[in-house]
Amino acid sequence: MTQETLVTTRMRVEGMDCASCAIKIENALKRVAGVTEVNVSASRGTVIVKHDLPDTETLRVRIVALGYKVIGTEHVFAKVDPTVGQSTDVHQDGHSHDHGPIDGSWWRTSKGLLTIASGSALAAAFLLGKAFPATERWAFLIAMLVGLIPIGRRAISAAFTGTPFSIEMLMTIAAIGAVFIGATEEAAAVVFLFLIGELLEGVAASRARASIQNLTELIPKTARLEENGQVREVQADTLTVGAMIQVRPGDRIPADGIIVSGESSIDEAPVSGESMPIRKGPQQSLFAGTINGDGLLSVRVTAAAADNTIARVVRLVEEAQESKAPTERFIDRFSRYYTPGVVVVATLIATVPPLLMGGLWNEWIYKGLAILLIGCPCALVISTPAAIAASLSAGARRGLLLKGGAVLEQIGKITMACFDKTGTLTAGKPQVTDIVSFGTTEADVLRVAAALESGSSHPLATAILAKASEQKLSLPPASDSQAIGGKGVRATVDGKQIFLGSPQAADDITALSDEQNSRIVALNDEGKTVSVVLIDKMPAGAIAMRDEPRPDAARGLKLLADIGIRTLMLTGDNRRTAAAIGKQLGIEVQAELLPQDKQRIVGELQKEGFSVAKVGDGINDAPALAAADVGIAMGGGTDVALETADAAVLHGRVADVAAMVDLSKRTMLNIKQNITVALGLKAVFLVTTVVGVTGLWPAILADTGATVVVTLNALRLLKPPAI
């Protein structure tokens, strides 16, 4: 292998459950000659290394020496371009050893087995000591060593690879020191309690990790492929874009797709949290993992397994967990100085009173060892990433994608939300709002108009056909159809000449009365597009259409107003239509804006002191999305939307913007609670230890207890937002 070729190795690691674990592994691997870059993710349980080593055994040995288990590896070769100094992936060699999931039953993990062995040895020592008192000290010493030897190995390995002040080192010093001052029974118990704490931390981390990975289990393993007139069962992950699949009533949908034929109620609750099934028919899109209700569907696949909605959600959340929030970065920096500081304080407490104040050495060494245990930084270090990981996972399960902790923290600070109109506050497609009769029944006006538009894919035609379908009208055939450029369309229906077009074009054919024109003007003033129907050149009626607000738009804006966030519509649409929608929703409007105008307005609002969120479709709003403090893409999870913005509302609910703000505020409150618990318990036990009220047992319980409480508190965020 030449120096110009790098390998990116991705390893799955068991037992890596917190930020301090990740730091130890990162420090160790960075010291390996030939390694150029290391990225460690405790939340995903993965280690990604760029290197030019001939094999990965050195990397594996370093990780195993720290007490973790490598259970899977895969390699991607990358060719370095000397002109830019960057690497480009050129080949994945398919070399993978994966021995099952990272997180199995706790008693089968290495942490579980070690904890059971230590607990059994402690119980045996207690019974042996009671039966044969002379052996008690040696029995507890052996019981202690059962747990301490693996901990000590990890401590020494971490010290030699760049992490001298690890939790394992503090634990090892405290346990050995306790033996030397005759507290062997306490030393054995403390080691066992430490292992229980580590095990509980691992179980909690596994639960947080599984909360997002469980989404992948929503997708069925098999699919019914339609091919050459036959239907056969295939593996769902083999489906390709463009393949036709059949989905039976009651089946989970195996891939993202578009309905080609059939109509059914779709239960999207497993993916979006939507409580009511949604009726869908031809040309409407489906998400993998949702449930087909009562109809047989023929579906064209639009995304391969690796790129379907759920896979993208999982990937984006995992990547987001690597982006640290400002609070998390502060805690990381603080902990670098905090742990050495604890060692210094413990040393001073153990030595100063005996040397300068005549204190008893055993008493003050004992207190110093207790301070070491109290000072373990686990609870503090995990307080922020645990909460952020849980929040990102909970949000993703509802379709709220936030690209990292920094975004999650910032979105709770917004004071102004600027919305695009089309496709954001509105559904993005016209709907029939009014059918006006000029002497013919409304049903007949709609029936002949729909017959005229049969087969057309124009948005206005689609709206008319959808309304006719909703009213279950039987459409007569149309013949001699002819489009009249810029004016409308004509055809023969039931032996009569039918024209459907603009009011001006209709007035050119036959004069409309003042009353009819008045009705049309009133509809136009409401921001609606009006088409007039003529039957044998006589006015029969009019059909008004408008891109209507999303069903939850008014509620979503009210939720934001209720928490003190101002809202503003920024749209390129005409003022009349925008004003009508704005009045209906109760939102301030600025209309007929170019993309650069939206960007300028966002900047002006920021200068006025607002923290601005821009909500749009991620395409024509791109400049404003980038300029805003937080850019939020609205709608179906397109690549453009997901890549442009800081966050995405995957399922297009306006109320989900308020849900994001709520999630952010609950997360920051949770983090503050965690930090208070972590530091508060340590402060209390620091004082009680120095004055002689508590000792080693309570000290390790304080550390273990704080870690468990902090983790469990963070896991409360896995409950989806209530909004």
Active site residues: 420
- Crossing angle of helices 442-453/459-470, nearest 10°? 130
The total of other beta-carbon atoms located within 10 Å of residue 308's CB is 27
Order of strands across the sheet with 230-235? Answer: 230-235, 222-227, 244-247, 297-301, 257-261, 285-286
DSSP assignment, residue 422? I
Residue with tokens 């670098």: 336
Residue with tokens 């160790």: 28
The total of other beta-carbon atoms located within 10 Å of residue 680's CB is 11
Per the CB < 8 A criterion, the answer to whether 436 and 449 are in contact is: no
Per the CB < 8 A criterion, the answer to whether 689 and 371 are in contact is: yes
**Which has the closest alpha carbon to 16: 89, 59, 70?**
70
For CA atoms 443, 444, 449, 450, the dihedral sign is positive
| CA-to-CA dists, residue 260 to 220, 297, 342, 457, angstroms | 21, 8, 66, 14
| Phi, psi dihedral angles at 230 (to 5 degrees) | -115, 155
Write out the two tokens for 118.
């230590």
Please, what is the Cα angle at 443 between 442 and 448, to 5 degrees?
Answer: 100
Q: How far apart are CA 378 and CA 21, in angstroms?
A: 10
| CA-to-CA dists, residue 177 to 349, 358, 373, angstroms | 14, 20, 12
Q: How far apart are CA 303 and CA 687, in angstroms?
A: 60
Write out the two tokens for 138.
């040696």
| CA-to-CA dists, residue 511 to 517, 534, 538, 541, 593, angstroms | 10, 11, 9, 13, 36
**Which has the closest alpha carbon to 552: 426, 418, 402?**
426
Enumerate residues 6+ apart whose C-beta is below 8 A from 622.
595, 644
Q: How far apart are CA 539 and CA 519, in angstroms?
A: 13
| Phi, psi dihedral angles at 351 (to 5 degrees) | -115, -35
**Which has the closest alpha carbon to 248: 292, 301, 300?**
292
User: In DSSP terms, which residues pair with 648 in a beta bridge?
Assistant: 401, 633
Enumerate residues 6+ apart whose C-beta is below 8 A from 649.
399, 400, 615, 632, 633, 634, 635, 656, 657, 660
Write out the two tokens for 208.
């947080």
User: In DSSP terms, which residues pair with 405 in a beta bridge?
Assistant: none
Q: How far apart are CA 717 and CA 396, in angstroms?
A: 12
Collapse the DSSP code of 538 into the 3-class scheme (helix H, G, I; strand E, B; otherwise coil) and give the result. Answer: strand
